[in-house]
Structure 1
């Protein structure tokens, strides 16, 4: 049985239409229809019920789906096991949230180059909501995010949790000695955090929900938050790894009496199926490097 037929079947079942599967597999709806016709002839059963509005699995199609997924996964594992990393070539598109840029990224790229010298990495740095959309539209092979991507089509591998700290310039932080002092400072200083719709932004809103008159300023750039903090402006909720050097050098100071914040989760997210084996191999390497760097 031709695995391309099973691959077409799998993506129609997951995406819900022949046209979506054709786009995912970079072919035409007519070619996808032909693959399904041949598959149904080989099996002697119909695997889809079709009408003008929707495509649905038949009972035999429902029984076939887990087998198709297993066979495609086995194909990918087989290719991965016999291919030489040093001989691999191609382009891998990797998306990362900005906190990764300021911490793990140099080590990740250095090790990727050592293991896969023929692979070119296209790097995209953006917020979690934007990177999710890039994954959904098939513009990224993988991404390091602060949240899962909804749906069965994506696999999320936990990498680390980074404590979120309230930090400020030492001249501002020195005036805060208790919770009341923290709220008093918020009457004079804005709070800076990540862009709207990110987990960190929503957590800051939750933590400060009962503080009257607080001003929350979303920033699209961690570098910009750092710059204004070091200039003596505002208070920020920041990942500990990002501000670790500035805290150690005394250029910023933690404010420990602010309300507790949830840690920043970091996950490697990639599609579950239809991946080239080298993409899986690179994703596994990225996960290993990041997990190692996250160790205390």
Structure 2
């Protein structure tokens, strides 16, 4: 089995599609299809089933995946051990929710790739429960989580910074004039939510429901940028991490409502499997994350 075929197999399994895999790999879709077909012919079995626009692993594909991941990891380990001066090389696969992928990770990834140009980084967005599962299975090397602090028996999880949350509104919204708001003030409001499974959406909904508050209308968006634009246009209110709206608040386009409850607290955390082999490339990435986390905490204390 060729390693490049196994790597393509891994990516198709992760993104559940040949077109998306081609985008991730910067291949033509026909190349992705040809590599999977070559692997299937070599093994004498089908590895994927097509379900509409998605492809899913067959039972045989499910059996192959952990072996493929192990072989690819050993390949990276061999490269690290045999490279002159042990310069970090290989691939790091990272998972993160949209808010962190857009507002916490760009500076880290930019600095890392400048230091270690021989390391390829693949960033996969997702909701936290899904990302934890991918860290467990070994499909992702490391994941970032944005949710209440937690511990898992098989994952190493470290809190990097406690994130401030904000209920945002247009500056001319009546609630923006109040010295403080309560859950009761949101009864008749339209709330713009992130996707189902988003940890802070779930946390906020439970908080409101605990006071018997069920907002008048719920709208659902799978994009933070779309939510911000809709709030600015007066469509409703939203509950988002402060880091995602700081720029718009500073520009006077959005208002963070004054809200005294501290029960809806989430943390930016980093997680990986406790038995994960930490390659030199991954070790250097984790060190850089720690350095940036120190800066985040300093800024948070000063705010």
TM-score range, shorter chain: 0.5 to 0.7
More deviation, 173-182/158-167: 173-182
Question: Against the structure 1 CA distance between its residues 116 and 84, is the aligned structure 2 distance closer, same or farther, given a 3 Å change threshold?
Answer: farther
Q: How many residues matched? A: 225
- Do the aligned partners of 1:219 and 1:225 also contact (CA within 8 Å) in 2? yes
Report the Cα offset of residue 227 of structure 1.
1.8
Residue 202 of structure 2 corresponds to 202
8 Å Cα contact 2:163/2:242 also seen in 1: yes
Question: Could you list the per-position Cα deviations for residues 71-121 of structure 1 after superposition, in whole angstroms to 9, with x for gaps in the alignment?
Answer: xxxxx9xx89x9856x22211101112222332222101211122121010
Contact 2:69 2:138 in 1 (8 A): no
Q: Give the direction of change, closer, same or farther, for the CA distance of 1:216–1:179 in structure 2 (3 Å limit).
A: farther
Q: Deviations over 1:16-47 (max 9, x none)?
A: xxx89x748737xxxxxxxxxxxxxxxxxxxx
Aligned position for 2:89: 89
Relative to the length of structure 1, the TM-score reads 0.65
Residues of 2 paired with 1:259 and 1:153: CA distance? 33
Distance 1:216 1:83, change over 3 A: farther
Matched residue, 2:291 = 288
Counterpart position of 1:191: 191
Structure-to-structure mapping, 1:166-185, within 5 angstroms: 166-173=167-174, 177=178, 183-184=184-185
Alignment match, 1:66: none
Q: Do the aligned residues in 2 keep the contact of 1:112 with 1:282 (CA within 8 Å)? A: yes
- Structure 2 length-normalised TM: 0.63
User: Which 10-residue stretch deviates more, 146-155 or 122-131?
Assistant: 146-155
The question of whether the paired residues in 2 share the 8 Å contact of 1:168 and 1:236 is answered with yes
Change (3 A) 1:88 1:232: same
C-alpha RMSD of the superposition? 3.2
Residue in 2 aligned with 1:105? Answer: 105
**1:171-250 equivalence runs, <5 A:** 171-173=172-174, 177=178, 183-184=184-185, 186-187=187-188, 189-209=189-209, 210-214=211-215, 215-250=217-252
Per the alignment, residue 118 of structure 1 pairs with 118
Relative to structure 1, the CA distance from residue 201 to residue 213 in structure 2 (aligned partners, 3 Å threshold; closer, same or farther) is: closer
**SS of structure 2 residue aligned to 1:102:** helix
Aligned to 2:166: 165
Unaligned runs of 5+ in 1: 1-18, 28-75
The 8 Å contact of residues 193 and 200 in structure 1, kept in 2 or not, is answered as no
C-alpha separation between the residues in 1 aligned to 2:158 and 2:179?
38
Q: Does 1:26 align with 2:28?
A: no
Q: 1:293 to 1:184 in 2, by over 3 A?
A: closer
Task: Using the TM superposition, give the Cα deviation of residue 261 of structure 1 relative to its aligned residue in structure 2, in angstroms.
Answer: 4.7
Q: Quote how far apart the aligned CAs of 1:289 are.
A: 2.0
Structure 2, unpaired ranges of 5+: 1-62, 72-76
Question: The residue matched to 1:111 in structure 2 has which SS?
Answer: helix
Distance 1:151 1:135, change over 3 A: same
